Every structure is written in structure tokens, then in C-alpha cells.
Amino acid sequence: MSAWNAATGGGDRAGGEPAEDVLVEEKQSSSVSLPVMMTPSSASGMSLSMDMPRKRKGSMDNQDSKSTSVNDADMEDDQIRSDEEDQHVKIKCFREPHSQIEKRRRDKMNNLIDKLSAMIPTCNPMSRKLDKLTVLRMAVQHLKSLKGSASSFSEANYKPSFLPDEELKHLVLKAADGFLFVVGCDRGKIVFVSESVTKILNYSRAELIGQSLFDYIHPKDMGKVKEQLSASELYPRERLIDAKTGLQVQADLPVSAARLCSGARRSFFCRMKYNKISVKIEEKESHANTSKKKESQKYCTVHCTGYMRSWPTSQMGAEGEGEADKQDSSHFSCLVAVGRVHSHSSPQVNGEVRVKPTEFVTRYAMDGKFTFVDQRATTILGYLPQELLGTSCYEYFHQDDLPHLADRHRKVLRSKEKIETNCYKFKTKYGSFVTLQSQWFSFVNPWTKEVEYIVSTNTVISHDHSRTSRSGNKSEQSSNSKASEDCKKSLPIIPGISTTPGTMIYAGSIGTQIANELLDFNRLNSSPSSGTVSPFSLPQDKSPQTHNQMSNNVPNGETPDMEMPGKSISEDEPQGAAFSGGEALMGENSQLDLDSVVGPGLSSLSNDEAAISVIMSLLETDTNLGEAVDFEEMHWSL
């Protein structure tokens, strides 16, 4: 296969044709991209890979490398072979007329020429479209001028690299958002650090070189880093995970055997100091407070990856002095690594990342009991988290708000959307009430589709203005009016809940009852596949206690649709095909947001489909498993 490539020159032979996009990759000396999968039998004319091509979902490899071009006189050796193969193709699996193929090739070329003319400054101002030859000639001129200006580029001529290394290096560091550093293993002396460190840690190179790395590492991570630098054993305590069994095995062989670089790899995280930007303010502060006010040092988490190197100290010159006596006589061991700061959440900010000061988050179990309370709640509610944990949220809601919150609770358990509550009062530790407004959504496990818990983002509303609900949930309008009607009644009547006098006595049980409703419903309607209900079978509230003259517990005010379990489709949740339909649905919603980020989500598939898609992705992804996946050994266990 590689011999074939070499013979014909490694030209663009490797383009693929995507199944979904119609874009066809046509190159002069390369193959016809036929829409049909080329099986080995039809490829008899080709001397290429004799492997049975694997059929996989979304396979795009239906291209064979034959040439169809007849116009290109440059590739003579191709020509002969390709003509022969052409015949084969025509006879065996020709689907398109040759003119179509030619047309596509021409279109592709024209497209490229257009792009080229757009990039060349001299072509741009031309009002009329330039012909191919002129564009090409102008391109030649342009390249010549580019090469003239930047001397470094012209030097790249005799080296087989597209970019001068300096530039490449710069790009790499910019992309990786990292800095290169070399530290001696013995004392952690920083022997080298790249310029980019300034942007990341805000220290200049001069400040760092020659210093000990340990001066810049969080005290608690020093032990970790020391361990990583220990070159006493070249491969200390390495463990590999056997991909086939998922178990750990002790590595007898060095991991890096297959790699170009010698030496053990290191990969670890550590917190490194970073220099604060403004110095003046700090000085003022230290003058004002004569007492030793230690400023909290800021750290950022750096992911360091690299490998160990060992050099003869004779080479090191000045750098190696002082190290030599510590090491075994002639070698200087060091770590050569790149440090990268991760984009999401540098943890020096204590979790206040996305939540405003007047907000706090909580988690409820399905029955409304607090299972997680963010520490910010304490300043707002007065309770410590542990005082709330385990208790039902209903114990703190004001009487008047119980009906509408119960309604929301019911809704959120049955919906995939974020549900907003109206403003409601929450009892603080000191007996007073604070006005909150919350956004709830039930977090569903992507695999099992079961509700894990309800996440609530709670905002404090100042007493002056009462906020109208945002338009997140269309059904809210109708329920709003209902809820406010409910509130006007003196006795809170919560539909579905047996009304007994007293408030706190049954407040807690409201949640439990609502949760039980759902469980009962699930039991009644469990789908046969795996005992978990597909979300799509619960479009409406089918609470057995259909009480309802007064309020719509049914989302969106539609009449309950007594349906078959399994795959009933609610009107406002279009599913469509697994992949495309998912998009429309996953608008502004919480976990559904992810689907637009991550791709067609599992939530749009049934359990079986989800399981199958996982299996398929595994079959397709042949990452370093070492040998082909054996189909007999696949075991579908759900």
C-alpha cells in the first residue's frame, strides 16, 4: 500500500467522501468517488489494500484510488494504470455518467481557483472574474513577492517543512497555551523556560531561569512534583491499564518503547504561582497594615506533560555546575515538559464561577429533600448547609406558595426543560422570609434516562419589584394565572394532596407524594426494554388522582393523552430522526444544551438505540487496542 503511494507520488489520494455531505473530493489523479460502497470484488482492478473494508455506521470510505482523469498529461505512469481500471469501473459499478464526474472535477477546480483569486491582493480589485491562467500567474507573482519579503520563509526552501520552525513553535505554544520548561531533577533548578511563560504565569524568563521550580509550586504539591522528578528509577511505579480487561498491569517494559523519545513520560498537575498584575496597590496596602498581612498567593493549575532526559554533564557547562556532584558522576537528569493551563475554571476562584453573589444552587432528591446546598445559601438563608440537608424544601416554603411550587415540582419531574418558578417566599433561619425565584431542571442520567436529582438555581429577589416570569417556559402563562388564583384562596389546596389542616405537618409529605406519583406512574407504564421509561412516554401528567377542575397539572394545558407506553410523542416535543430532530428540540435547555454542543445526544434516542450507538462508536474507534475487535466477543449487556 505504501509502495503504491510512493510509486505514484504521494499526491492527494486520500480524500474521503463523507456520507452526509455531498462534497465530492475529486483530484485529477485520484479516484472516482462513487456513492456506492466499494467492496473488494469491485475493486479487482485496483492493486491496493486487500483488506476487507469494514462496514461501519456512517462509513465514508467508499473511495478507491483510481484515476479517471484523461486530461492530465503529467502523470504518465498513472495514466496507463488508470485507463485500465477505468474500464473496470465503467463495467462493474458505474453509476454516474463520466460527464458528471468531469463536471464535478471542473467545479472543484473552479472553486479552488476562486478561492485563490480571493486570497491574492492583485486579483481582488478586479471587477470581472479572471480566467484560470491569469489567476495562476498572479499567484506565482504573489508567492514570489511573499518569499522576497520574509527572509525566513525563503530559507525554508531546503528544509522539508512548510513553516519555518520558529513560527511553528510559536503557533504550538499559542495553541497549547503553554510554556516549555526544563528543570533539573535534583534540585528542581529551572534550566530553561520559554518566552510564553510570561503570558501564562506573568513572570519574566529572567526571573525564573536559575530559580528552583519548587519556589513556584504550591506547598501541598511539592511532594507530588518531587516524586515526578525523581530519577532514581527511570520508570518508577508505572502502571498501565490493559485496554482489553480494564485492569491495571505492572509494566515490565518501558512505556515509551514505541516512541521516538527516550526516557520516561511524565504527566501531572500542579498548582503554580502566578504573579499578580498590579504592584502599586499592593504596596499601599502593606503600608496601611503594618501587621503582617500575608497576601493570599494566587495559584493556577498547570498540566505538565513531558519526559525525562539525561545528558552528560560535560556538555552542560555553567548550567551543570553544582549539579554534577549530586548526580552520578557524569549525567544531568532533567524533565523536559510543557506546562499548560486549562481553560475552564482555574480553581483559585472558589467555585464562584458562574453564580452571582445573590444566587445559590441546591439539589433536591425527587421528593424535594435537600441533598446538596451550596455554601452561599448560608448568607442568604441563615442556615448552614447541614441544617437544610435531608429536610424537605416544602417545610420552608410559604403557605401561599405551596400550590404553585408543588405544581412546578410535578412539572419538572416530567419535563426535560428548565422550569421557572414565580417569586416565592422562603423561610430563613430567623423566622423571616426572603423572596426567591428559582429555576429548576431535573438532571437525567444520559445512559439510564432516569432522573438523578433536581438542580435548582435560586436567585434572591429584592422586595421592591416582583418579577414577572421570563419566557423560558411557554406553559407558564396559563399556569401563572391559575397559581395566583390558587393563592387567593385562604386554605392552600394542593391538587392531589389530601388536605388536612395545619401547615408544617404535611408540608414535607407534599414532596414525597409528588415523587410517589411519578414512581407509580413509571411502574404502570414501564417500557419493556429495560424498565426505565423513555422520557417521551410522559408528556402529560397522568396522575391517578385526577382531581382537576381547578388547575392544569398537565403541561401546556393539553388534555391528557392516555397512551401506550414507550414511544408516545407529545406535541410540543418533536423528535424526528435521532440526529437531525434532536437539534430542534434541544433549544435553550439545560442538559439538552449539551446535545447541540456535543452532538446528537443520547436523550433523543431510546435506551436501546443509545446502547447501540455506544457499541457502534466503540467498534468504529479502534484506538490503540492492539488488535481488531472481535465481534464474537462483544457482549451486549444492558
Using CB under 8 A as the binding rule, the residues of this chain from 260 to 279 that contact another protein are: 260-261, 264-269, 271
594: contact with another protein by CB under 8 A: yes
Q: How far is the CB of 214 from another protein (least distance, A)?
A: 16
CB 556 within 8 A of CB 477: no
Taking residue 229's Cβ as centre, other Cβ atoms within 10 Å add up to 22
The residue range among 79-87, 290-298, 542-550, 599-607 that interacts with another protein, by the rule CB under 8 A, is 599-607
116: contact with another protein by CB under 8 A: yes
| Distance of alpha carbon 412 from alpha carbon 456, whole angstroms | 11
182: contact with another protein by CB under 8 A: yes
Residue type, position 397, single letter: F
Task: Specify the 3-state DSSP secondary structure of 217.
Answer: strand
Q: How far is the CB of 480 from another protein (least distance, A)?
A: 27
Figure out which of the listed residues 88, 98, 147, 427 binds another protein, where binding follows CB under 8 A: 147
Long-range own/partner contacts, residues 7-13 (CB < 8 A, 24 or more apart): 7/77, 8/75, 8/77, 8/78, 9/75, 13/65
Task: Specify the 3-state DSSP secondary structure of 333.
Answer: strand
349: contact with another protein by CB under 8 A: no
Question: Is the C-alpha dihedral spanning 563, 564, 570, 571 positive or negative?
Answer: negative
Instruction: Give me the residue label for grid cell 397512551.
Output: 563
319: contact with another protein by CB under 8 A: yes
Q: How far is the CB of 185 from another protein (least distance, A)?
A: 14
Q: How far is the CB of 218 from another protein (least distance, A)?
A: 8
Question: Please, which residues have CB within 8 angstroms of residue 482's CB and are 6 or more apart in sequence?
Answer: 407, 550, 551, 552
Residues 366-425 that bind another protein (CB under 8 A): 369-375, 384-386, 389-390
Q: How far is the CB of 477 from another protein (least distance, A)?
A: 28
Distance of alpha carbon 13 from its chain centroid, rounded?
32
Q: How far is the CB of 158 from another protein (least distance, A)?
A: 9
Q: Which residue, 500 or 624, is less far from another protein as judged by CB?
A: 624
| Distance of alpha carbon 287 from alpha carbon 282, whole angstroms | 9
Q: How far is the CB of 428 from another protein (least distance, A)?
A: 19
* DSSP secondary structure, 416-478, as one string: SS-EE---EEEE-TTS-EEEEEEEEEEEE-TTT--EEEEEEEEEE--SSPPPPPPTT-TTHHH
Figure out which of the listed residues 216, 274, 332, 396 binds another protein, where binding follows CB under 8 A: 332
Question: Please, which residues have CB within 8 angstroms of residue 526's CB and are 6 or more apart in sequence?
Answer: 532, 533, 565
The residue range among 352-360, 426-434, 497-505, 521-529 that interacts with another protein, by the rule CB under 8 A, is 352-360
Q: How far is the CB of 631 from another protein (least distance, A)?
A: 10
Q: How far is the CB of 400 from another protein (least distance, A)?
A: 28
Q: Which residues pair with 397 in a beta bridge?
A: 426
Figure out which of the listed residues 32, 120, 185, 231 binds another protein, where binding follows CB under 8 A: 120
The residue range among 149-157, 283-291, 489-497, 567-575 that interacts with another protein, by the rule CB under 8 A, is 149-157
311: contact with another protein by CB under 8 A: yes
| Distance of alpha carbon 413 from alpha carbon 442, whole angstroms | 6
Task: Specify the 3-state DSSP secondary structure of 487.
Answer: helix
Figure out which of the listed residues 88, 142, 427, 547 binds another protein, where binding follows CB under 8 A: 142
Figure out which of the listed residues 446, 472, 560, 566 binds another protein, where binding follows CB under 8 A: 446
167: contact with another protein by CB under 8 A: yes
Figure out which of the listed residues 361, 366, 423, 518 binds another protein, where binding follows CB under 8 A: 361
Q: Which residue, 200 or 554, is less far from another protein as judged by CB?
A: 200
Q: Return the half-sphere exposure (C-beta side, CA atoms, 13 A cut-off) of residue 637.
A: 2
258: contact with another protein by CB under 8 A: yes
Residues 1-30 that bind another protein (CB under 8 A): 1-2, 5, 8-21, 23, 25-30
Q: Which residue, 175 or 491, is less far from another protein as judged by CB?
A: 175
Q: Which residue, 205 or 427, is less far from another protein as judged by CB?
A: 205
* DSSP secondary structure, 349-375, as one string: S-S-SS--TTEEEEEE-TTSBEEEE-T
618: contact with another protein by CB under 8 A: yes
132: contact with another protein by CB under 8 A: yes
Q: Which residue, 45 or 555, is less far from another protein as judged by CB?
A: 45
Q: Which residue, 260 or 562, is less far from another protein as judged by CB?
A: 260
Q: Looking at residue 392, what DSSP letter applies?
A: B
CB 421 within 8 A of CB 399: no
Question: Please, which residues have CB within 8 angstroms of residue 447's CB and are 6 or more apart in sequence?
Answer: 602, 610
- How many residues would you count in the chain? 638
Residues 208-227 that bind another protein (CB under 8 A): 220, 223-224, 227
439: contact with another protein by CB under 8 A: no
Figure out which of the listed residues 108, 298, 398, 425 binds another protein, where binding follows CB under 8 A: 108
71: contact with another protein by CB under 8 A: yes
Figure out which of the listed residues 36, 126, 140, 281 binds another protein, where binding follows CB under 8 A: 140
440: contact with another protein by CB under 8 A: no
Strand order across the beta sheet in which 331-341 lies: 190-193, 178-184, 331-341, 299-312, 265-273
Residues 490-549 that bind another protein (CB under 8 A): none
CA distances from residue 304 to 114, 179, 229, 355, 581 in whole angstroms, order as listed: 44, 10, 12, 30, 41
Which cell numbers in the block locate residue 326? 549530586
* DSSP secondary structure, 291-329, as one string: S--PPPPPEEEEEEEEEEEEEEGGGTGGGGTTTTTTSST
Q: How far is the CB of 47 from another protein (least distance, A)?
A: 11
Count, residues near another protein per rule CB under 8 A:
208
Q: Which residue, 175 or 564, is less far from another protein as judged by CB?
A: 175
**In 125-265, which ranges are continuous DSSP H helix?**
132-149, 151-155, 165-176, 197-201, 205-208, 222-229
557: contact with another protein by CB under 8 A: no
Distance of alpha carbon 516 from its chain centroid, rounded?
35
244: contact with another protein by CB under 8 A: yes
136: contact with another protein by CB under 8 A: yes
Question: Please, which residues have CB within 8 angstroms of residue 42's CB and are 6 or more apart in sequence?
Answer: 88, 92, 93
CA distances from residue 165 to 168, 336, 580 in whole angstroms, order as listed: 5, 19, 43
Task: State the chain's maximal CA–CA distance in angstroms.
Answer: 96
Figure out which of the listed residues 522, 591, 604, 606 binds another protein, where binding follows CB under 8 A: 591
Q: Return the half-sphere exposure (C-beta side, CA atoms, 13 A cut-off) of residue 101.
A: 23
206: contact with another protein by CB under 8 A: no
Which cell numbers in the block locate residue 87? 474500464
150: contact with another protein by CB under 8 A: yes
Q: Which residue, 14 or 126, is less far from another protein as judged by CB?
A: 14
The residue range among 235-243, 282-290, 462-470, 504-512 that interacts with another protein, by the rule CB under 8 A, is 235-243
Phi-psi category of 605—alpha, beta or left, where left has phi over 0 and alpha has psi -120 to 50?
beta
Q: How far is the CB of 119 from another protein (least distance, A)?
A: 5
